[in-house]
Structure formats: C-alpha cells, structure tokens
A = this chain, B = another copy of it.
Amino acid sequence: MIKIFGDPISGNCLKVKWTCERLRIPFTWQDVDIMQGETRTPSFLSMNPAGQVPTVLLDDGRPLAQSSAILLHLSQGSDLIPPDSYDRAKMLEWLFWEQYSHEPAVAVARFQVKYLGKAPGELDSKLVERSHAALKRLDDALAGADYLVAGRLTLADISLVAYTRMAGDAGFSLADYPAVDAWVSRIEAELPIREPR
C-alpha cells in the first residue's frame, strides 16, 4: 500500500491525498511536521534528499517526491489525465505554472500569515502582487469555463485548487475573483474535499 509522508497544513500534501481518495487508491498517511524540522532528519532525507513533503513510498517501497510528479504517476490511465494529447499538454502547462508562479506566491503568503504570524499588511508587496496576478490569471481562464482543461475534472484542477481555496488565509478575498470562487466550490464538492477551508 502507498504510504504518504505529509503535513496536513501543506496543500501540496493534500493534493496527493485527494487524488488517492478520488481514484480509490488505498494509502496510509504518516504525519511529518515541517515546523518541527521532521523533513530534515537523516531518515527522511534518505527517502527524499530535497527534504520536502509530500514524499510517498510506492507499493514496492520505492520513494517518489514532488507533488505533481506523484499526482501524474498515481493517475496514469485514469480520467484525471485527458486522453487528448493537446489537452494533456495544457494540463501539464497548468501543473508547472502552479509550481512556478502560483504556489511560490499564494502558498508562501498564506504560510507567512497563518504560520509565521505576519499580518497581511506586512507581506512583501511583490509577493502580494504576484499572488493577485496568479489569481487574476486563474479568474480569466475560468470565466465561462467549469474546469481548467478539457471541460472536466483533471489534475490541473486538483493542483490549482489546493492553495487557491486557502488564499483567504493570506488576506486575499476570492470574492474579488468570482470565476475562481465558483470553481473552488465546484471542485471541493466534486472531489470531494473534506478539509475545512
């Protein structure tokens, strides 16, 4: 059975959990406390030298890291990956954009406010600007669309919803991004996501 090493405060870890639940892949979950340095112990680093969660041990005990790589691996052959080659490429585009332009803005802002105790007004102005740019881009993409790619639920939605739904933790209001707001509720219901926002 797959074993997920994850911290429940991490949207990246929850993505893996939701994907397993959606695909009915049995898993066990081992809590790893980032704030307590548990990703920096020798035993953790032997699984993932990058010292990051999520890290999973697959059925055969081999480790795999990077949330999006894990999602793609677990979802092979499932309906979470579009069969059309271009749709699949656009889904990958969203997965890489999320890790490069969305997560390092929205998730970092949220972490600083919710876990390091910063006031939203104390956030670095560039971080705030990049977060709003990411939310705006999502809002534009979702105007008139129920999903990010292929007109149905894919890994792109699972990846992007994780920190977008938590944007309020950093003081960003999803009411300012109505297409995003509606999409978050839709994906939360469809997956379904049980974790409270």
Closest 7 CB pairs of A and B: A69-B92, A73-B89, A66-B96, A69-B93, A66-B93, A68-B96, A99-B100
Main SS of chain A's interface residues?
helix
| Residue A178 CB within 8 A of the other chain | no
Task: Report the stretch among A57-65, A113-121, A189-197 that lies at the interface.
Answer: A57-65
A binding-site residues for B, Cβ under 8 Å: 49-50, 52, 58, 62, 64-70, 72-73, 76, 85-86, 88-90, 92-93, 95-97, 99-101, 103-104, 137, 140-141
Which of chain B's residues have a CB closer than 8 A to the CB of A58?
Answer: 86
Taking the nearest CB of chain B, how far is it from the CB of A10, in angstroms?
13
Complex copy number for this chain = 2
Closest to A72 in B: B92
Taking the nearest CB of chain B, how far is it from the CB of A42, in angstroms?
14
Which of chain B's residues have a CB closer than 8 A to the CB of A67?
Answer: 96
* Contact A89–B69 (Cβ < 8 Å): yes
* Contact A69–B96 (Cβ < 8 Å): yes
* Contact B93–A65 (Cβ < 8 Å): yes
Which of chain B's residues have a CB closer than 8 A to the CB of A50?
Answer: 97, 101, 137
C-alpha spacing A73/B96, complex, angstroms: 13
Closest to A140 in B: B49
- With A85-B73, A89-B72, A95-B69 known as contacts, the answer to whether A104 contacts B101 (CB < 8 A) is no
C-alpha spacing A101/B68, complex, angstroms: 14
In the complex, besides A50-B101, A52-B101, A69-B90, 17 extra interface pairs with C-beta distance below 8 angstroms are A49-B140, A50-B137, A64-B86, A64-B89, A64-B90, A66-B97, A68-B96, A69-B92, A69-B95, A70-B89, A72-B89, A72-B92, A73-B88, A73-B92, A96-B99, A99-B99, A104-B104
